[in-house]
Amino acid sequence: MKLNSLAAICAALTLALPAWADELRGTGDLGLVVEREAGSLLVVDRSERAAIGRIEGLGDLSHASLVYSPDERFAFVFGRDGGLTKVDLLTRTVVKRVVQGGNSIGGAISDDGRLVAVSNYEPGGVKVFDTATLELVADIPMGSKTVGIADVPGSRFAVATWDTGQVWMLDHSADPANPVITKLEGIGANPYDALLTGDGRTYIVGLFGEKGLTAIDLWRDPPEVTRFLPDYGKDQPDLPVYKMPHLQGWTLADGVFALPAVGLHQLLWVDAASLSEIARTDLAGQPVFAVARPDRREVWVNFAPPDNDKLQVVDVLTHQVTDTLTPGKGVLHMEFSPRGREVWLSVRDENRVEIRDARSREVLAEIPAKAPSGIFFTDRAHRTGL
């Protein structure tokens, strides 16, 4: 009787295992796709090449971005309506949502995962929140719209000011509620975005109000400001700018920056050490994102309207376009798998995400999505500047 009972229990447990195992899921293969018009996030699994759920109720996601907690379980989403939303990828639920401003344009998470900072157009400045509770930790008025916020090692953030042409360094390491503030002047007119290199050293600011860019060496004490490329496009008529390049899509590959030019159909190649231009690549349209495959061998570029049905692949060694792809109308974003085997593309106007082999360019799968834009895989949790 005891043996029969034991056998029955074992059989019951065996039958239960598949259902129980289905509930266990690692986060390393997961990602989120922004469904901008629906105000929702599509939860995707890279290994399955499939959607596994949807998180709704996130407000205006027309210019949304997000960052991940160090354990990859939670994402913090920055909405155009000023909403800051914490979502749980495993339960596929909204944990908490606060409307912290009138128009937020991006955010960053500290390297220890304890603080999330939001840059705002309205009312301007930066607000910093506790990642566990989304309680306000610090409110830092700056008298300006803020852009290009990035996490800097050591519980610090860097952010540029559109109206005053500054970069503010916010150091929260000693007292999160009262950061030590360093203001850097002479950045240039109307910074519109910025990026931080993966080693945390160089913060590059793009300028809309004048030609050229600005690099800040954060390893120097005090940080060293260098203006570069002051003459690019000076002798060429500017084209109408239908969509500004996104600097976090800029690329550092083989010691060279690949930078999408503002108002030109070109990719600029700049030596990272000397900050001097070494080459240009003519493109099929105005570049928006220039994203390196993780091995840095190629740069993939998408475009503003009316050429946003195309992608071009550029060789890092020769600076030549090697392939032109036409996935469909409204290719808004590209995200490579961490080792670069696949590239996922949001094709907004056709309501789908397209997955391609990054080398053969073959289409491997498609996932239905509601007007998808940004694609964010959880490996971003471990990358500085994202």
Sketch out the chain's domains with CATH numbers. 110-238 (2.130.10.10)
Work out the burial of residue 24: count CB atoms within 10 Å of its CB; fewer than 13 is exposed, 13-18 middle, 19 or more buried.
exposed
CA distance 37 to 351: 11
pLDDT-based confidence at 15, cuts 50/70/90?
Answer: very low
User: What pLDDT, on a 0 to 100 scale, did the predictor assign at position 236?
Assistant: 53
pLDDT digit string, tens, across residues 16-66: 333 333 578 899 999 999 999 899 999 999 999 999 999 999 999 988 999
Please give the Cα distance from 80 to 73 (Å, whole number).
23
Distances from the Cα of 214 to the Cα of 187, 240, 289, angstroms: 6, 23, 19
| pLDDT-above-90 percentage for the chain | 76
How high is the pLDDT of residue 233? 55
Cα distance between residue 317 and residue 262, in whole Å: 23
Question: How would residue 324 be classed by pLDDT, with cut points 50, 70 and 90?
Answer: very high
The residue type of 219 is: W
Give residue-wise pLDDT tens across range 340-386.
999 999 999 999 999 999 999 999 999 999 999 999 999 999 998 88
What pLDDT does residue 255 have?
86
- Per-residue pLDDT for 207 more than 50? yes
- Residue 269, pLDDT score: 94
pLDDT at 247: 61
Sign, Cα dihedral of 172, 105, 69, 28: negative
Q: In this structure, is the dihedral angle defined by the CA atoms of residues 126, 376, 372 and 76, taken in order, positive or negative?
A: negative
Least confident among 64-73, 151-160, 236-245: 236-245
Q: Read off the tokens for 381.
A: 């949790």
| Interval 291-318 mean pLDDT | 95
pLDDT tens for 228-282 read 998 765 555 554 554 555 566 677 777 899 988 877 899 999 999 999 999 999 9
* pLDDT average, residue stretch 198-217: 91
Phi, psi dihedrals of residue 224, rounded to the nearest 5°: -100, 125
pLDDT, tens digit, for every residue of 99-118? 998 888 799 999 999 999 99
Q: How many residues does the chain have?
A: 386
CB-based contacts of 5, cutoff 8 Å, min separation 6 = none
CA distance 256 to 272: 5
Q: Reduce the secondary structure of the chain to three states and give it as a string.
A: CHHHHHHHHHHHHHHHHHHHHHHCCCCCCEEEEEECCCCEEEEEECCCCEEEEEECCCCCCCCCEEEECCCCCEEEEECCCCEEEEEECCCCEEEEEEECCCEEEEEEECCCCCEEEEEEEECCCEEEEECCCCCEEEEECCCCCEEEEEEECCCEEEEEECCCCEEEEEECCCCCCCCEEEEECCCCCCEEEEEECCCCCEEEEEECCCCCEEEEECCCCCCEEEEECCCCCCCCCCCCCCCCCCHHHCEEECCEEEEECCCCCEEEEEECCCCCEEEEEECCCCEEEEEECCCCCEEEEEECCCCCCCEEEEECCCCCEEEEECCCCCEEEEEECCCCCEEEEEEHHHCEEEEEECCCCCEEEEEECCCEEEEEEHHHHHCCCC
pLDDT band at 11 (very low <50, low <70, confident <90, very high): very low
**What confidence score (pLDDT) does residue 18 get?**
36
Q: Is the pTM higher than 0.75?
A: yes
Mean pLDDT for 312-335 is 96
The pLDDT score that the predictor gives to residue 263 is 78
